[in-house]
């Protein structure tokens, strides 16, 4: 007997309708409310790119799309969180099912679920670059290569080579020919090391950062049922900063979107400045060729800068041949101060000018942290740092070691990584080498003993029962017993305690004495570890904690620590690190041929166009005032003063758009 069953229409997700026409300008509105299908949104600097993406997500949800069917890909986890928080403020819906995050964090989630298809267990370790280097060094030694006999690349150089191979999908021989030609005679040995490295990662249940994408993409291509599962799930894919994607990221998007093709990519080709780390400018340029039915939207209304600065920006990028042409237009009124081009005698006078003008701006009411000095390379700021110090002007340099990559943080987390994945050779060796009397050779021997124990006896119920029988020297005996006791304390019966508790136990029982004996700034490092424990309180699960640690370490650079106790400080930054930021006043210094653009870039059109995009990014960081400076001379090692030509980029700006400042000494 049959039974009739009626499906009721699901209640509408929202009781509030957003007035999109009131909230967005015409260009943003067209992109946000576009029908399904491939969409390319060219969003100029300061045009509300994030707003457009956020409202697109809200528009999809308001039109009945289940949050679980939306994938939002960004370049930092912070950017994804901010967008989803904004969506939550716009609509009274639970969007927690929406997948949002970096490419690598999404790859990590997929591999934790389905990585067994590639032979990985869900508890795999994510190595950062230093761990990767250590494991490669181990592989090189096992391959019988003696770096003293031949000039073989070190572990960190090999890691860079392997990373480029993965991210650009370039064969290793072609990559060496292009970037490392001096290693071509060693091609076969490097290939052998790469193959051994892949096998070693598999046997230690470890992945490096690039594997999170490469293995995910391979899994999707080799296992059709897994690819089908995610293609069905992700009906709408939205991608932020698409101009910064590399080859493998573009392939990942195309693979997931192959069925429904509802993919919206948002970016600005004029701000593509990361080819040196594998980003492929052609991804955004060729999107209309890969998706011939794609709608292309341009968002050119700029909410950041005054018209005078935007006219300079438009002129600065005009000479580039490879681009989607657009004209930024201002929403703000004009300024009384026109952008200035300032020629100085030398680097020292340039520094004096910048420092004096900063003090004048401060007197005019502009806060120091609203002022930035941008440059092509960090060494360009040496003279300026001296001058600012002499005048007592506080400043912050956006560089330095990221918090999670500092030695003491990695030392402590090696204990937790080992608990989470007892086959993690890198973590085991880092941990035991902290103990007195244990060096590389002892660590190798202990690892072999530990590995044999794992293979013979399987599951761990007592760390001490496994560790204590291993042979250690007399000098290490007491600390070895303490290590075994600590591991049993933080993971009784093999089950890890919450990460925060583990960190405090490790520090108090083992690491504190080591830190006192090895670091002159012990108190500062101890404070860092206390902060790490505080950060870890938000995680109950050790695998989630370690995944986040690795992802933050590799993607979300921590802000540099202030070099001064002052809360207010001038920002000194390379243009690359300033992308995405904005300031009241921007100085762009060392605008001479060979400095900006750099000497290396003068050889090819592609390279000079990327430098021009970099110049465009620098200009568009400024809201109200812009100073473009260049010294006529610079000191060159061994040759005395050298004349400098003003940057070719300055010559491309019509003189009527800028004010020429003649600087004289008082």
**Residues noted as catalytic:** 49-50, 240-241, 271, 621
Distance separating alpha carbons of residues 469 and 271, to the nearest angstrom: 59
3-class SS shares of the chain: helix, strand, coil, % to 5: 55, 15, 35
Distance separating alpha carbons of residues 171 and 263, to the nearest angstrom: 29
> What DSSP character marks residue 592?
B
Distance separating alpha carbons of residues 30 and 238, to the nearest angstrom: 16
Give Rg (Cα) of the chain: 28
- Helix (H/G/I), strand (E/B), else coil: 586: strand
Nearest to 180 by CA among 206, 203, 151: 151
Q: What is the DSSP string of 138-192?
A: HHHHHTT--TTTS-PPPHHHHHHHHHHHHHHT--HHHHHHHH-GGGGGGHHHHHH
- Helix (H/G/I), strand (E/B), else coil: 455: helix
Distance separating alpha carbons of residues 611 and 599, to the nearest angstrom: 11
> What DSSP character marks residue 391?
T
Contact yes or no for 416/546 (Cβ under 8 A): yes
Q: Please give the span between the terminal C-alpha atoms of the chain, in angstroms, as a whole number.
A: 102
Nearest to 240 by CA among 36, 77, 105: 77
Distance separating alpha carbons of residues 272 and 241, to the nearest angstrom: 9
Torsion angles phi and psi, residue 40, rounded to 5:
-115, 120
**Residue labelled with tokens 């401060």:** 362
**Residue labelled with tokens 């960090």:** 378
Q: Which residues of 37-50 are buried (b: 16+ CB within 10 A; e: fewer)?
A: ebbbbbbbbbbbbb
Give 459: exposed, middle or buried? Use CB within 10 Å, 0-12, 13-18, 19+.
exposed
Beta strand 583-588 with 622-631: parallel, antiparallel or unpaired?
A: parallel
Distance separating alpha carbons of residues 652 and 629, to the nearest angstrom: 15
Count of alpha carbons within 13 angstroms of residue 310, beta-carbon side: 23
List, in sequence order, the alpha helices (H) in 364-439.
Answer: 382-390, 407-420, 425-432
Contact yes or no for 279/575 (Cβ under 8 A): no
* Total length of the chain: 666
Q: Residues with Cβ < 8 Å from 60, sequence gap 6 or more?
A: 70, 236
Structure tokens at 551: 């992802």
Distance separating alpha carbons of residues 162 and 261, to the nearest angstrom: 31
Torsion angles phi and psi, residue 144, rounded to 5:
75, 20
- Is the bond leading into 597 cis (omega within 30 degrees of zero)? yes
Give 197: exposed, middle or buried? Use CB within 10 Å, 0-12, 13-18, 19+.
buried
**Residue labelled with tokens 């709608």:** 295
Structure tokens at 30: 């067209």
């Amino acid at each position: 007997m049959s039974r009739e069953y009626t499906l009721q229409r699901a209640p509408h997700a929202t009781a509030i309708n957003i007035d999109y026409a009131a909230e967005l300008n015409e260009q943003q509105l067209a992109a946000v409310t576009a029908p399904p299908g491939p969409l390319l949104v060219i969003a100029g600097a300061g045009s509300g790119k994030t707003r457009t993406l956020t409202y697109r997500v809200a528009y999809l949800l308001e039109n009945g799309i289940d949050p679980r069917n939306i994938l939002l890909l960004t370049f930092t986890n912070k950017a994804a969180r901010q967008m989803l928080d904004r969506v939550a403020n716009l609509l009274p819906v639970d969007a927690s099912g929406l997948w949002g995050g970096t490419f690598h964090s999404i790859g990590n989630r997929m591999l934790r679920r389905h990585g067994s298809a590639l032979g990985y267990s869900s508890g795999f370790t994510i190595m950062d670059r230093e761990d990767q280097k250590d494991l490669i060094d181990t592989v090189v030694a096992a391959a019988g290569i003696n770096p003293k006999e031949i000039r073989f690349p070190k572990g960190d150089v090999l890691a860079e080579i392997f990373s480029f191979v993965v991210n650009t999908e370039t064969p290793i021989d072609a990559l060496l020919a292009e970037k490392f030609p001096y290693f071509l005679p060693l091609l076969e040995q490097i290939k052998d090391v790469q193959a051994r490295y892949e096998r070693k990662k598999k046997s230690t249940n470890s992945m490096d950062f690039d594997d999170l994408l490469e293995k995910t993409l391979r899994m999707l291509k080799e296992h059709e049922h897994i690819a089908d599962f995610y293609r069905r799930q992700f009906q709408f894919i939205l991608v932020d900063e698409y101009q910064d994607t590399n080859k493998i990221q573009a392939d990942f998007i195309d693979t997931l979107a192959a069925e429904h093709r509802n993919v919206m990519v948002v970016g600005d080709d004029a701000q593509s400045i990361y080819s040196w780390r594998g980003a492929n400018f052609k991804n955004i340029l060729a999107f209309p060729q890969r998706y011939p039915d794609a709608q292309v939207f341009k968002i050119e209304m700029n909410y950041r800068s005054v018209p005078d600065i935007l006219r300079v920006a438009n002129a600065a990028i005009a000479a580039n041949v490879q681009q989607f042409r657009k004209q930024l237009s201002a929403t703000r009124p004009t300024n009384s101060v026109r952008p200035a081009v300032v020629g100085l005698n030398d680097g020292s006078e340039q520094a004096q000018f910048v420092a004096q003008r900063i003090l004048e701006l401060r007197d005019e009411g502009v806060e120091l942290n609203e002022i930035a000095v941008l440059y092509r390379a960090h060494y360009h700021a040496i003279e300026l740092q001296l001058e600012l110090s002499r005048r007592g002007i506080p400043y912050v340099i956006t560089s330095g070691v990221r918090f999670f990559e500092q030695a003491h943080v990695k030392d402590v987390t090696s204990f937790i990584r080992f608990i989470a994945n007892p086959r993690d050779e890198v973590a085991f060796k880092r941990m035991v080498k902290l103990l007195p009397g244990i060096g590389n050779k002892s660590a190798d021997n202990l690892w072999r003993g530990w590995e044999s124990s794992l293979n013979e006896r399987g599951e761990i119920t007592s760390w001490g029962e496994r560790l204590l029988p291993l042979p250690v020297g007399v000098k290490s005996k007491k600390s070895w017993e303490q290590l075994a006791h600590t591991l049993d304390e933080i993971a009784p019966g093999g089950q890890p305690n919450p990460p925060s508790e583990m960190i405090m136990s490790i520090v108090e029982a083992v690491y504190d004495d080591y830190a006192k004996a090895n670091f002159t700034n012990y108190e500062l490092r101890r404070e860092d570890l206390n902060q790490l424990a505080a950060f870890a309180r938000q995680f109950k699960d050790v695998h989630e904690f370690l995944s986040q640690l690795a992802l933050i370490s590799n993607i979300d650079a921590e802000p540099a620590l202030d070099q001064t106790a002052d809360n207010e400080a001038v920002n000194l930054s390379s243009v690359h690190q300033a992308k995405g930021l904005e300031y009241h006043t921007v100085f762009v210094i060392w605008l001479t041929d060979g400095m900006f653009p750099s000497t290396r870039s003068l050889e090819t059109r592609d390279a000079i166009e990327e430098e021009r995009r970099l110049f465009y990014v620098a200009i568009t960081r400024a809201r109200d005032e812009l100073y473009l400076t260049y010294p006529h001379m610079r000191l060159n090692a061994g040759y005395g003063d050298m004349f400098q030509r003003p940057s070719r980029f300055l010559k491309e700006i019509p003189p009527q758009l800028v004010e020429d400042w003649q600087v004289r000494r008082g």
